[in-house]
Amino acid sequence: MASHRKSRPTGTRVAGIRTPVLATAALTSVALLSQTADATPSDDRPTLEEVEKKVDDLYRQAGSATEKYNAAKEKTTKQRKKVDTLLDDVAQRTQKLNDAREELGSFASAQYRTGASVPETATLLLADSPQDYFDQNQLMNRLTGRQKSAVDDYVTQQSETMKKRREATESLETLTESQNDLKTAKSTVQKKLATARELLSELTAEEKARLAAIEKKKQEEAARKAAELAKKQQAEQEAERKRQEEAAQQQESDTGSGSSGGTGSSGSSTPGTSNGTKAESALAFARAQIGKPYVWGATGPGSYDCSGLTQAAWKAAGVTLPRTTYDQVNAGTTVSVSQAQPGDLVFFYDDISHVGLYIGDGMMIHAPKPGAYVREESIFYDGESSIYSVVRPA
């Protein structure tokens, strides 16, 4: 009994002590797990600034891929035209070859009927390399002038046809490579844009509002920088105007006549007037496109990508620009940002993946990115460091 009484308190003590400890431990674990579950998304979830940067980077990468797509598409179009031309040429030469073969066949038939030189003619017609066989003096001596002309024509047509067939085959291989590049560039654009849309779709309403506020602040800073540039350009223009007036006055003083100075002024203004007229035409076209959507790879008239818009604008002014930003950047004279004039092309980023049309006062018209529309905007919309160069096409 004593032993039994000792065991019961012991058991009661164990239960009385361990149960609270286990319960506390369990509750603590649940609390920690709950905190971890709450903390993990917060730790892994990018900040709004990181999301903004990621989306901007994706749009830029999509822009770069778009220009690669444009280049591949242009190359594919040119290569397809070349292939079609070559195939047409091969078809025509094949017909000529068949005509020459028929004429040789008629000679062979005639010889067969007369029983003259049948083996030689038949062998000639069926040989893989007729010219080697023709070099044999005994056969050449048996050919009449007309027969010799037919043989020469056959050999020439066969050689030229084989050459054109090889060219067509090589061009088809190049076309296939261009088409593969086109598909790759298109896939890259689509993936970048899909990722950007996914990131934006995951934002809460509050985060979207904050993102809009950040964007507005960037636009205000860009507008401020544009105003600074406009002020600087106006000051430089005024200074240049005064220098020209002083030079004209000095010339009049030295010569005692204002006629030569007036003639010089008129002559120097002609190129500027011509250039200005073209630029005005390009700007008028670009302004008429404001509000139309950005669509990658588009060249109008209902939608544009960045280089498609600038190309179409200058085309309206009678100036032909290449299709892509990579080529447009070399299609004129490079000037400094402070010397930019209306109609100039403003290129952005180290990979030259974006372009806009300068309209003056630090502003431009451009097709910004997917989901946006052709609009006027500061050339500093993505910071001063994003400007690559300014080019004057005409």
d(CA 90, CA 94): 6
Kindly name the residue from 366, 369, 391, 392 that is annotated as catalytic. Answer: 366
Helix (H) or strand (E) holding 376: strand 375-378
Which one of the listed residues 306, 312, 387, 394 is annotated catalytic?
306
Is the CB of residue 104 less than 8 Å from the CB of residue 98? no
Residue from 354, 363, 368, 381 carrying the catalytic annotation: 354
Which residues, at least 6 apart from 354, have a Cβ–Cβ distance to it below 8 Å? 60, 63, 306, 325, 347, 348, 366
CA 91 to chain centre: 35
- Cα–Cα distances in Å, from 129 out to 121, 125, 141, 151, 301? 14, 10, 19, 12, 56
Euclidean distance between CA atoms 231 and 79, whole angstroms = 49
What's the CA gap between 352 and 346, in Å, rounded? 10
Q: What proportions of the chain, in percent to the nearest 5, are helix, strand and coil? A: 75, 10, 20
Is 4 annotated as catalytic? no
User: Closest by alpha carbon to 65, among 203, 182, 208?
Assistant: 182
H-helix or E-strand containing 24? Answer: helix 2-44
306 labelled catalytic: yes
Q: Which helix (H) or strand (E) is 365 found in, with range?
A: strand 363-366
For residue 361, which of 252, 270, 233 has the smallest C-alpha distance? 233
Do residues 349 and 329 touch, judged by C-beta distance below 8 A? Answer: no
Q: Catalytic residue numbers?
A: 306, 354, 366
